[in-house]
Amino acid sequence: MPIGVTPVLCSTPIPPNPQLPQHEPVNKQFQACFDDIFKCVICLGKLNDPNLCPQCSKMYCRGCILEWFMLGDQSCPNCKFALTVEQLVKLRWIEEIEKLEQDLRTNYSEKETLKGYLSEDSYVEECCKEHHLPLKFFCVDCHESICETCVTIAGEGAHGAHTFKAVTVVYDQVLKEIATELGKVENYREQLETVSERIAQNMSLFDVLLSEKRRELEEVVQRATNNLIHQHAIQIQKLKEQQKKVTEAIEILDMKLDGVEHDLDQRMKPQMIRMHPSIMQYCREMMEPPLPDFNRIRLPVSLKICMPVIRETGVFVVERFSTFQNNKVVYSKDFSDTQGRIWHVLVWCMVTKDQFGIYLELVSGTPCWTECTFKLLHRNPEKTISRTIRKCFNPLEGWGLRNFTKIKSLKENGYMHDDELEILYSIRPCAPVPTESDDSASDDDMSAA
């Protein structure tokens, strides 16, 4: 057995040294470089049964390139070189490269993981309590470190017929196992951080939706208030017209009464007696028009709150956008409106024409004219793209904007977050009257799904 003094870990756990630099468990720069080189040009994922184009040397998963050929394109997706299945070069050495890469990552991970936890002060030299010699061996059966004398007299002592290993060997093995577990813990922590970020992103979408709903509620309240004011104005106008008629009758009656009183003041007593019958007749004539019946004129004091149709609003998250190919269509989950109709939103990509389209489709329900607003959300609200369409939808028919924006602009202007797009949709029934402010009313932009 090799003999040599080697330090062992203290039995008391050693806390991390805060003054030591913290290191990543894996060299991420190396990993990113390796992943970028050895990836499929079509699916952008890790190579599976890789094949190489003999012209440009780009690598593809065999399944991806075969599917590419089945779609009718008999050329290399990268260099457009005329290509057949027989011309593809199978990479038989890729497994050796992957094994080398994995070994490099494992070795680096083990060293870097423990570097932040162990310091020179973590090592001490222990001696055998009985023989006062360095503990250079490890008894597998007793699970304890022993000295050279304990091994020599093993046949006579407590360690007879036991299995021994050098402390250095056991130490290296323990160190490797600890490094592996710490690496798993670090990886688990990274996964937790990813989940936390996704939760925060989900919460931010609810904030956006709450803001949209509050705006919509304010609009509904304003429209309901305007309707109340309109009802009030109509009823008051009716009563004012009736009041005007009564006021005019009072004015006419006052004029007649003034005339009679003035005439009576000019008459002598004998004349008053002779005119008595005619005066009485005149008074009766002044009262001939029937007295207006207030109960018939009176209007019931009631105003009805007319609530506008509430919009159905939600956010459609389009995932893994970078993997989209030509004519790719992705559907949202089905949702219902206040009238019981079932809808879903879909996005469509025409990569060759650099077009990104958004559509609304009526899954089931009665035909109706519907107003739909699509908003492509951005972290900067000023960059949010908003478009509205108004169309008559029939079951299993969709309308939308085939060129909502350019695919290139999605990537360059920061609309993608973690390879996802966030589309806020808002629909409601409407009258079939497009307005001038409707920027999507042109048939040049819209198309049926």
Q: From CA 173, how far away is CA 179, in angstroms rounded?
A: 10
Cβ atoms of 402 and 445 closer than 8 Å = yes
Q: What is the mean pLDDT of residues 180-188?
A: 91
* pLDDT mean across residues, the chain: 81
Answer left, alpha or beta for residue 244, where phi above 0 means left and psi between -120 and 50 means alpha: alpha
**pTM as predicted:** 0.51
Listed ranges 1-5, 247-251, 338-342; the one with the highest mean pLDDT: 247-251
Q: Identify the residue with better confidence: 89 or 329.
A: 329
130-146 residue pLDDT tens = 888 888 888 888 888 88
Please say if the pLDDT value at position 343 is more than 80: yes
Give residue 5's pLDDT.
33
Give residue 358's pLDDT.
95
Q: From CA 424, how far away is CA 422, in angstroms rounded?
A: 7
CB-side exposure of 154: number of CA atoms within 13 Å? 16
Q: Which two tokens mark 190?
A: 């990274």
Q: Provide the 10 A C-beta neighbour count for residue 136.
A: 23
Q: What is the mean pLDDT of residues 217-230?
A: 90
17-56 residue pLDDT tens = 444 344 444 455 656 666 677 788 888 888 888 888 888 8
- Give residue 92's pLDDT band: very low, low, confident or very high (50, 70, 90): low
Give residue 144's pLDDT.
84
DSSP assigned state of 343? E
Q: What is the mean pLDDT of residues 109-114?
A: 55
Q: From CA 213, how far away is CA 314, in angstroms rounded?
A: 10
Q: What percent of the chain has pLDDT above 70?
A: 80
Give residue 28's pLDDT.
57
Question: φ, ψ for residue 379 (rounded to 5)?
Answer: -60, -30
